[in-house]
Amino acid sequence: MLKSINLLGFPIHVHRAVRTTKENHMSVTDTPIDNGVNVDVLLEAREALSNAPEAAQFTWRVTNTWKNGTHSESSLQQFFGLGGEQSHKTTFSYDADHPEIFASEDNGPTPVEFVLVALASCLTAGVATVAQNRGIQLNSVSATIEGDMDLRGILGADSDVRNGYSGIKVSYDIDADASPDDIKALVAQSQKRSAVYDIVTNPTNVTVEVR
């Protein structure tokens, strides 16, 4: 099933069924590789966006509303990209809060835990995408991610201590039809292409204004 997207004049045919890549990695003897990623569409998009850099400009948006204390709710649905407004299928909403040991109500994870959610999910999506592109069948992928933080930073107890993580460690357990070296190589490539890995390991300019 194909859906055509008008990409600023460059029509991209998007395969709605995510399992249509099978045939691209089949030979007479091979088992078809299917990690559920439509690599062809991504390669088409790369080609099309190289020729239409305006369409590659995306803006992701979240609105946040204070509830009480350290509790707030963030929602997202719309984003801008491919030259126009786009939308998720539904609105996604997330509570964040501080835990009870800080006298908060624990209505949600801490904001810093959401950073770990972002990093883990970005790297895992990359692992699946790179594996598909390299013809590696994944059987299972799981990761634990830990971020160390000295709380004297955010509490203002020691100005030499940073507010954020002193370091983050991600450990993958991957069962795939590939050698240990090939598995390591696909994780490394995912890291290289990861948006959130880049955001966490490199500085990003943030402006904060009051309207």
Residue placing its CB nearer to a second copy in the complex, 114 or 134: 114
Give the nearest distance from C-beta 175 to a second copy in angstroms: 10
> At its nearest, how many Å lie between a second copy and the CB of residue 30?
20
Query: Considering the complex, what minimum distance in angstroms separates the CB of residue 202 from a second copy?
Result: 6
Distance, in Å, from the CA atom of 60 to the CA atom of 79, rounded to the nearest integer, reads: 5
CB of 200 to a second copy, least distance (A): 5
Q: What angle do CA 197, 202, 207 make, to 5 degrees?
A: 110
The amino acid at residue 71 is H
Closer residue to a second copy, CB minimum distance, 30 or 84: 84
Nearer to a second copy, 29 or 65 (CB): 65
Q: If we measure between CA atoms, which residue out of 194, 177, 189, 195 comes closest to residue 136? A: 177
CB 71 within 8 A of CB 108: yes
Lookup result for tokens 């013809």: 135
Q: Which is nearer to a second copy, 29 or 180 (CB)?
A: 180
